[in-house]
């Protein structure tokens, strides 16, 4: 169709040529096509532009491989002892932190950088706002989700934060959380970018929001210690829900080894012991169920 040719051909240009060609084609358009047609063509254009940027593609792939590798090697093969509990919990937190940080820094400046071109196309009737936004969200879910998968893979297998008996359902549940965290942060960055005038403004707005999500995730400060006037931030934090899911998936069936050989939980106390209240020095908790009670 003339609309499809107009959008796809305009996508092959860059800079001012892109804007001029888009303007030339939109002058000849009498009526916008259906929503589904717009969505289909915009999706294809997003992937076309992405594949035609080899430098950006290489950087994205390198980041997607390097960060998970560092996490996996840093927390490699954690033993199931209570001394290593903090390391395993930190690995879970680091996985979600990078799953959320990396996509936001890349997507929050996408719209401000292309704003002049996008507004020109929109003003001249190339497409409506909704198919454009949905196409961007689908595109980000397809091109950023693999980062969450690689980060989850590094933690699950390299760091060994999985149950002793690996099940397909547990593995899928774990990976789905890290992938969801990546997709959420990508779409959040894109959405924040829509309201920013410049890339600098977009970055300045996104970082405080992301850091507040991390701060109230329940890891840096337990939910019971958060002041009542800030508890709303705890329940609005996406990091909180993803961290809770990962911690439960990791520790629900976790069976700790004793603190040392010959350890008798009936006679000795352990600083990691808990009865679910987090109060006092209690007999050592040899299962992860007691740990997750406080962690989430």
Residue 227 pLDDT greater than 50, yes or no = yes
pLDDT at 291: 57
d(CA 118, CA 217): 35
Q: pLDDT: is 275 or 292 the higher one?
A: 292
Structural Rg of the chain based on CA atoms: 24
Look at residue 10 and tell me whether its pLDDT is greater than 70: no
- Residue 276: pLDDT band by 50, 70, 90 thresholds? very low
Contact of 159 with 78, CB cutoff 8 Å: yes
For residue 92, is pLDDT > 60?
A: yes
- DSSP-assigned beta bridge partners for residue 269: 283
Cα–Cα separations (whole angstroms), residue 78 to 73, 153, 158: 10, 15, 9
Q: Give the Cα separation of 188 and 203 in Å (integer).
A: 12
Which pair of tokens denotes residue 276? 């679910």
pTM value is: 0.70
Cα separation, 137 vs 30, in Å, equals 28
| CA pair distance 210, 238, nearest whole angstrom | 10
Q: Are 251 and 295 in contact (CB under 8 A)?
A: yes
Res. 1: pLDDT tops 80: no
Residue burial 94-128, b: 16+ Cβ < 10 Å; e: rest? bbbbbbbbbbbebbbbbbbeebebbebbeeeebbe
- Are the C-beta atoms of residues 284 and 268 closer than 8 Å to each other? yes
State the pLDDT at residue 15: 45
Calpha distance 128→120 (Å, rounded): 12
Rounded average pLDDT over 153-169 = 74
Strand-pairing partners, residue 255, are: 287
Q: What is the pLDDT of residue 173?
A: 81
pLDDT given for residue 101 in this prediction: 83
Q: Which two tokens stand for residue 26?
A: 């939109």
| Average pLDDT for the chain | 75
Helix (H, G, I), strand (E, B) or coil at 287: strand
271-293: average pLDDT:
50
Instruction: Give the residue ranges of DSSP H helices in the chain.
Output: 2-11, 15-26, 35-51, 54-74, 85-107, 110-123, 129-153, 168-194, 199-215, 231-236, 238-251, 288-295
What's the CA gap between 295 and 236, in Å, rounded? 17
pLDDT in tens, 233-267: 888 888 888 888 888 777 776 666 555 555 555 55
pLDDT at 279: 41
For residue 274, is pLDDT > 50?
A: no
In sequence order, what are the residues at sequence separation of 6 or more whose Cβ sits closer than 8 angstroms to the Cβ of residue 79? 257
Q: 127: which DSSP letter? A: -
Interval 96-150: pLDDT, tens: 888 888 888 878 888 888 888 888 888 877 888 888 889 988 988 888 888 888 8
C-alpha 52: how far from chain center:
25
The answer, yes or no, to whether residue 11 has pLDDT greater than 70, is no
DSSP letters, 98-120, are HHHHHHHHHHTTHHHHHHHHHHH
Q: What is the DSSP letter of 269?
A: E
């Amino acid at each position: 169709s003339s609309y499809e040719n107009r959008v796809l051909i305009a996508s092959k240009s860059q800079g001012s040529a892109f804007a001029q060609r888009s303007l030339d084609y939109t002058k000849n358009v009498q009526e916008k096509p259906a929503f589904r047609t717009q969505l289909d063509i915009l999706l294809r254009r997003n992937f076309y532009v992405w594949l035609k940027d080899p430098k950006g593609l290489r950087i994205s792939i390198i980041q997607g491989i390097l960060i998970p590798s560092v996490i996996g090697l840093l927390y490699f093969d954690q033993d199931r002892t209570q001394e290593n509990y903090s390391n395993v919990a930190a690995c879970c937190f680091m996985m979600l932190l990078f799953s959320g940080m990396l996509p936001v820094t890349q997507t929050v400046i996408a719209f401000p950088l292309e704003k002049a071109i996008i507004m020109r196309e929109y003003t001249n009737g190339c497409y409506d706002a909704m198919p454009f936004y949905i196409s961007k969200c689908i595109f980000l879910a397809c091109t950023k989700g693999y980062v969450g998968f690689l980060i989850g893979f590094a933690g699950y297998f390299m760091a060994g934060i999985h149950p002793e008996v690996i099940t397909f359902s547990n593995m899928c549940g774990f990976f789905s959380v890290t992938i969801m965290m990546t997709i959420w942060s990508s779409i959040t960055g894109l959405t924040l970018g829509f309201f920013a005038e410049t890339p600098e403004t977009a970055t300045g707005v996104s970082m405080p929001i992301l850091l507040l999500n991390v701060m109230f995730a329940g890891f840096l400060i337990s939910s019971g210690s958060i002041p009542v006037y800030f508890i709303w931030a705890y329940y609005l934090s996406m990091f909180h829900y993803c961290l809770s899911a990962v911690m439960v998936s990791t520790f629900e069936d976790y069976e700790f080894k004793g603190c040392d050989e010959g350890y008798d939980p009936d006679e000795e106390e352990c600083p990691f012991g808990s009865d679910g209240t987090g109060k006092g020095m209690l007999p050592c908790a040899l299962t992860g169920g007691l740990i997750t009670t406080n962690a989430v």
